[in-house]
Structures are given as structure tokens and as C-alpha cells.
A = this chain, B = another copy of it.
């Protein structure tokens, strides 16, 4: 990715004639600002003006990088999936599959979430229903994620670390849905996701997908 540091945190007098060439980086900055507003105040409150203010500029800058609000929101979603993808791939360490570690990293990220990013994601997902452009993004990227996850499960089954009586595709769907469900309730009841309970949930989930060894 871009490593050329976009200088100075808040606002370098916001001169109009910026150095040219870092268009992508500047776009990402605006997306961060948008994400921040959505996370803190919700999608409905994320007006172009507010996003611009958070980014330290005016709507003129925002509309220069995005044709309209919908396009901006779609770009926000794409960028969030990029983050999620990276996390998922990090869980897939060469050869050995470790579903528990992956789930834990994900749950930890979820329950820390200082910036409230996933909350924003959740809201965007719910709104996609009535914004076809957003729905299209979700459909495409969710399908990709599901394929990867199902492949992980299948590998676990071949290695004998995951029960084989349920097809990998269905099992992946179940676990994935469980995660989504937790995500869904987290903003309402964050206190139910304390570390010890997260551990209990993880252990229980591992028990669910453990091979049926008939030990009991």
C-alpha cells in the first residue's frame, strides 16, 4: 500500500493547491473520516458536511473525490471489507488450520472496537436493503468471504479437527451466522461480551464443531 505518510494530523492549513499524485491516499483519508462519523453518530447523521468537517475540509473536497453520497458509502464498505479480509487471511497460517484462534482474534477485535467500526458496518449492512448499490457490494464480498471460510472448514474436516457429519458449506454457514448474530447484539449489550464470557462462547463453539469421538 501507500507508505508515503500523508503529513500532519489535523489540518495543514488546508491549502487548496495540494501536492498532486497521492489521490488514493487522500481518498482513504476521507473514507476514514466518513467511517468515524458513521461509527460515532450513525449513518443517518453522516452528512457530507459532517464528514467534511471531520476530515478538516469542506464539502467541496468530498464531492471532488466522490460523485455523490451513495458512492462514498459504497467506497466505505469496500474499504471495511478489505480490513476484514486481511484479518481472515491472517488467521489462515500455513498448513495448520486454527479455527479457534481465528474466531478468538475476531471476537477480540469485536469486543475491543474502540472506534466502533463494526457498529458502522452493521448499520451499513442493514441499510443496503434499500440501496441497491450498497447491496451489490455486500453480496459480492460476502460471497467471497464465505468461500474462503468454507474452505477452511473443509480442510479442518480432512485433518480430523472438525466433525464430518455436517457438510463444510453448511457448517461454515452456521458458524458464520453465529458470529454475525453476536455482532448484531453487541452494540445493544456490550457487557455480555466480557473476556471470560467470550472465552466460554469460544469453548462452546469449539465443542459444537468438534469431531464426534463418542467420549460421552
Contacts and interface: CB of A to CB of B under 8 A. Distances in A.
Contacts of A215: 212, 214
Interface in A99-156: 119, 122-123, 125-130, 135, 138-139, 142
A196 to B, nearest CB: 12
B180 A179 contact: no
A204 B174 contact: yes
B170 A42 contact: no
Contacts of A187: 126, 128-129, 135
Interface string A5-33: 00000000000000000000000000000
Specify how many copies of this chain sit in the oligomer: 2
Contacts of A119: 129
A94 interface: no
Contacts of A200: 170
Q: Helix, strand, loop or mixed for chain A's interface?
A: helix
Given A165-B207, A178-B178, A214-B212, A126 B135 contact: no
A200 B173 CA distance: 11
Contacts of A201: 170, 173-174
Q: Which 4 A-B pairs have the closest CB atoms?
A: A214-B214, A177-B181, A180-B181, A42-B130
